[in-house]
Structure 1
Amino acid sequence: MTTDEQSAEKTYVKTYVPTSQKDEWATHADELDMSQSEFVRTMVQAGRRDFQIPSMNGTQSTVDNAGTTDDDFEDRILAVIEREGVLDWDGLVDRLIDDVEDDVDAALGRLQDENRIRYSGREGGYVLTNDE
């Protein structure tokens, strides 16, 4: 069996979550036009930190504490094309921008939940809370 065939092999993972959580995941997956499996797989990978992943050329890349790698952008492009199918240049850029906007929105939400930043209408944008 070739390396490509081995990396293409799939297996299943079974887990139990509350029905409300599964419903929330299913709704979010639908909004992203993803299967539930693809959604869970993507969210699990996005949540992992400091792990080794193989790159396209067979070397290992280390994911930093921010969850990014040298191959991250290429992975995003592949994920968008897998999810959307054939896209022209403008369509691909639009989908990538949408994904980045979603990431920024989620990060801002987490930072506000952690009280590390807040939105200031007076200052016209997000500011550090200086609570650290």
Structure 2
Amino acid sequence: MVADGEVDTSRVTVKTYLPAYQKEQWQEHADQLGMSQSEYVKAMVQAGRRGFLDAPPDTAEAQPDDDTEGSGGDLRERVMAVLETDQHLDWDELLEALTDRIEDRLEDTLADLQDENRVRYSGRHGGYTLVEE
């Protein structure tokens, strides 16, 4: 059991299904980078999540990620602020602190877009799509 405020760093399994050709592409790229497929998928997911930091702030917790200085801009300040509070964080803990609530924000945004009939979820196609006018 994890106490309030602590991050559970135990390892768990994540399973997904994808076309065989895509798995082969991922494996080839992982091999080129000298990574296991598991390391590769984790790195790509984390890299993709970082892209969400560029989203415009729409909640009190959200802060912009100004990368115009070439060194992380506002992200540098955010990292420093998090480490002032929690002095020793591993990569995953630091990433979690910086991307806090992105899942909630995405879910709320998708719900709003669906309510406005601008986006719909297609179970048949397994994802979200724009509603054509």
Bin of the TM-score, shorter chain as denominator length: 0.3 to 0.5
TM-score (norm 1): 0.36
TM-score (norm 2): 0.36
Higher strand fraction: Structure 1 or Structure 2? Answer: 1
| Structure with more relative contact order (C-alpha pairs < 8 Å, separation 6 or more) | 2
